[in-house]
Amino acid sequence: MSDLQQTEHEPLSVLLVDDEENILRSLQRLLMDEDDIEVVTATSGEEGLKLLPGLANLGVIVSDQRMPGMTGALFLEKARTITPDASRIILTGYADVSAAVDAINKGGAWRYLAKPWNDEELVRVIHEALERYRIIMENRRLNALVAKQNQELEEWNTNLKQRVLAQTSEIRKMNEGLAAANSSLKNAFKGVIALFSELINMRDEHCRRHARHVREMAEGVARILQLPNHEQETIATAAMLHDIGELGIPEHILAKAHTDMSSEDFSIFSMHPVRGQAALDSVEQLREIGILIRHHHEHFDGSGFPDGLKGEEIPLGARIIAYADYIDVGMRERYGEWPLSTILDKANQESGRKLDPSLASVFKKVSKFIYFDETKAQQVETGTMAQEMELIPSELRSGQKVSRDIYSGAGHLLLKSGTILDDIAIRFITRCYNGQNPPATGIFVIVGSLTG
């Protein structure tokens, strides 16, 4: 078993070396009631050296000084090179002080005890030596764990850098005109925001649309609350980038609902707000935005993460983003099943627990304009009109009706408005969206049934 697998509950070995059998038996009797100690004996230094490589978790070596052939001091000196972590104790008579000094200086002896010894003192010293060994092993395990975590963090940072580098050329082209027209600090700042936003959008269509919806809702709420212009802009930007910390997290974790994650998966996932803040922290102008990103998973009752803030300890911008995120996740997961009013009712049920209750009324007003206009909202909620939804290919179902013409990225008509989808049509649309010139938008379909 390796040092890193050592725990305080596993038995440790104690090697006793003495040329007199009666002394060895006496030492064994002292330790026979110790359940967590495995006692091994040797009658000479030479025999002890042969045993050392095969002893697991050797915590203590107790050796007599005066033995024929090899002295205890010489034995400990040689043993030190084989098992350097084991504590070494030398037993010596009062006349052998110089030998004890040699055992300490050359053999690295931790303690020496005079013969005849006191039984209680000897047992106590052996226990102290074993605890010293456990501390050495635990420190080594913790150091290795920290090194491993540092390596994982470094790999994550490297992966993020590689993602940025891989898209540098395309992003540079997108911002070429802006950089050429004006190299001011404000325009450079906007370029950085665009870069981070593009990294999020490139994950998939869900991420692109989710970031847009959360930003639009948060921006609208901040405007209705008449927050200062700078604060409105900060909240809108933080909302757009709130999931940037998910870059680098394995997709199989992100695909799960929070309740379906293992404790290990959730531990990884729950670090994404901190990672998001860290990604922005190197740019001074983005640090205020990073604070809102860090706290967008805090709950109003203090049960969220990463810092367990509660109530007004949570920045207002983070509370707004959390509310917008909750609504859009609900709308995305319940396309075609629940109307917006049901999602808002669910949000109201979370008021005072996950969400800030003071934001309920303003989100009810803003969200209707994000997902569909006010007239359609009233019609949907009263059951007088079906709802138009913008979906991605994986969300399409047979029987849905296409509500707008579908064009490829090159401008070719793929499907006309009014087409009723079947499995063949859905496979055709999926191939087009996975091709070289995918459509610029999602697929607009009618969800629900007309009742009037």
pLDDT per position as a tens digit, 13-58: 999 999 989 989 988 888 888 778 889 999 999 999 999 998 888 9
Is residue 60 within 8 A of residue 89, CB to CB? The reply is: yes
Is residue 139 within 8 A of residue 4, CB to CB? The reply is: no
**CA–CA separation, 348 and 359 (whole Å):** 10
In terms of phi and psi (left: phi > 0; alpha: psi -120 to 50; beta: otherwise), the region of 343 is: alpha
**CA–CA separation, 409 and 199 (whole Å):** 21
Q: What is the pTM of this model?
A: 0.44
> Does pLDDT of 60 surpass 90?
yes
* 67-93 mean pLDDT: 87
Residue 55 main-chain phi, psi, to 5 deg? -90, 120
Going from the C-alpha of 45 to that of each of 17, 24, 76, 108, 435, the distances in angstroms are: 7, 14, 8, 16, 76
Rounded to the nearest 5 percent, the helix, strand and coil shares of the chain are: 60, 10, 30
Pick the CATH number of 202-383 from 1.10.3210.10, 3.30.465.10, 3.30.450.20, 3.40.50.1220: 1.10.3210.10
Pick the CATH number of 386-452 from 1.25.40, 1.20.1630, 3.90.105, 1.10.287: 3.90.105
> Does pLDDT of 384 surpass 60?
no
pLDDT per position as a tens digit, 203-226: 556 677 788 889 889 998 999 899
* 122-136 mean pLDDT: 89
- On average, the pLDDT of the chain sits at 80
Task: Tell me how many degrees the CA angle 244-249-250 measures, rounded to the nearest 5.
Answer: 140
> Does pLDDT of 1 surpass 70?
no
The residue with greater pLDDT, 144 or 295, is 295
pLDDT for 30: 87
Instruction: Point out which residues pair with 443 in neighbouring strands.
Output: 391
The secondary structure of residue 10, as a DSSP letter, is S
Cis peptide before 68 (omega within 30 of 0): no
The position carrying tokens 């303003």 is 362
* 383-391 mean pLDDT: 65
Residue 40 main-chain phi, psi, to 5 deg? -125, 140
pLDDT for 380: 42
pLDDT per position as a tens digit, 146-159: 888 888 888 777 77
Sequence spans of domains, the chain: 3-143, 202-383, 386-452
**Amino acid (1-letter code) at residue 409:** G
**Homologous superfamily of the 3-143 domain (CATH):** Response regulator (3.40.50.2300)
The residue with greater pLDDT, 203 or 318, is 318
Residue 225 main-chain phi, psi, to 5 deg? -75, -5
The secondary structure of residue 43, as a DSSP letter, is S
The secondary structure of residue 353, as a DSSP letter, is T
